[in-house]
Amino acid sequence: FENFSPALGDSALALTLPGQAAPWLPKLVCFRSMPAVSRTLTVSLAANLALATVFFMMATRNREGLQGGIAAVQRVSGSSRVLTRPSRTAVFGKVTEPEMKTYDFGWMEDELISPGMGMSNKDRPLIDQRARPRRNRRTDGMRDMVRENFLTPANLIYPLFIHNEPDNVPIPSMPGCERHSLESMLNEVGEAKAEGVRSIILFPKVEDDKKTNFGEEAYNPDGIVPTAIRMIKEKYPDMLVITDVALDPYSNMGHDGIVENGVILNDETVQQLCQQAVMQAEAGADIVAPSDMMDGRIGAIRDALDVEGYSNVSIIAYTAKYASAYYGPFRDALDSHPGFGNKKTYQMDPANSREALLESDLDASEGADMLMVKPGLPYLDIICRIKDHTDLPVAAYHVSGEYAMLKAAAEKGWLNEKDVALETLLGFRRAGADVILTYYAKQAARWLNGKD
């Protein structure tokens, strides 16, 4: 507020707010005839009130809050020194590069208030601090040189929803995602592959008339999943195809296993899962991913694959799959909501972490090649603990609810989608995930490749 303009003639000074219409702000006037001390106090009060007013006005004009600074008057009366604002223009508009300007800080010598501060030989304040982590953040080149974790398209697994329909169907709760026809699936795989994504995982929407309690459609060699595998392998033989091993898409009960008298059966379900996994391997799957959370299913599936000659087919175990509220949009996509109750008798309690280590030990001993944590963001601690606990690669699933929340916030303009999505995926890597299943895979790969 460097323009205290004489709006009332020689007898008074009026403090104005340039460029701002603030009829509700009373005029603050300091008459020249007042004693010097009184004038000083009045102008000081006026300046502080005006400063607070402008901060309030700026905050109400922009939902991101204050993104810059404003000029501040230092010692309105009795000093000629004014702290000027940096020339980084526009508090709320597009920020431009700062003006290159060197300041004189010699005046601070007489005002140092911390016992740990002195002045350098260059007449600048100097704290007694030899280790300065900011030195390693000083330039882009420096930050790149010491970066600890990296995210590449090859770290991403792309989940695709498929159905036996000629047209795609958008999934309202997952903006940007669709149930793909098989032809559209091929196009999507090709686009992802062109961006460097090397692996996809298939999730089928099965027709209701094919769903049963025993889920026999899960191992139909002419079903949608084996058909999709063969199509992908024929056109993109080097694309890694991962398949979901579970009964819920094929169950008229909406559960991951056979239901008897309201109980999800374990061993009987594992028998069905073994048949499903072998059928998927026969169709050309590179990796099977049991997501059912039945006890002992990893060892049983490993043995079934080996006996049938598929010892090279890998297993990604859903090791720590929690009974989470974040799965809602996924179940919308596949119409696989539980027909009754919930999945808490086989999926893990969100309150538990040591149990995840027990599950990881069991899956590793039974022949799993990779261990997965699902969901991702609320369970970064589990990813970290399992990573420290095992020598196997660790996967994290950035699930539908996490994806949907980010999409919704971006659509509202509350977040920068690209920056937050990439930061989220890098967070998985930092926590210990070697690979990440994410619906952002293709889009994130484009961003990583410098594309919009």
Length of the chain: 452
Question: Where would I find the beta strands (DSSP E) of 266-341?
Answer: 287-290, 314-321
Say how far apart CA 43 and CA 15 lie, in whole Å.
Answer: 8
Q: How far apart are CA 102 and CA 100, in angstroms?
A: 7
Instruction: Say which residues have a Cβ less than 8 Å from residue 368's Cβ, sequence separation at least 6.
Output: 298, 302, 315, 316, 317, 319, 392
Task: Check: pTM over 0.85? Answer yes or no.
Answer: no
pLDDT computed for residue 423 by the predictor:
97
Active site residues: 321, 374
Task: Give me the tens of pLDDT residue by residue for the chain, a chain 452 residues long.
Answer: 344 444 434 444 444 444 444 444 444 444 444 444 455 445 555 556 665 565 555 555 444 443 444 333 333 333 333 344 444 444 334 566 888 888 899 899 888 888 889 999 999 999 988 899 999 999 999 999 998 999 999 999 999 999 999 999 999 999 999 999 999 999 999 999 999 999 999 999 999 999 999 999 999 999 999 999 999 999 999 999 999 999 999 999 889 899 999 999 999 999 999 999 999 999 999 999 999 999 999 999 999 999 999 999 999 999 999 999 998 888 777 776 777 878 889 999 999 999 999 999 999 999 999 999 999 999 999 999 999 999 999 999 999 999 999 999 999 999 999 999 999 999 999 999 999 999 999 999 999 999 98
Q: What pLDDT, on the 0 to 100 scale, is given for residue 47? A: 57
Q: Residue 51 has what pLDDT?
A: 58
| Six token digits for residue 304 | 């079934």
Q: What is the Cα 415 distance to its own chain's centre?
A: 11
By the 8 A CB rule, do 347 and 372 touch?
no
CB-CB neighbours of 254 under 10 Å: 20
> Do β-strands 28-31 and 12-15 pair in parallel, antiparallel, or remain unpaired?
antiparallel
* Helical (H) or strand (E) element with 426: helix 417-431
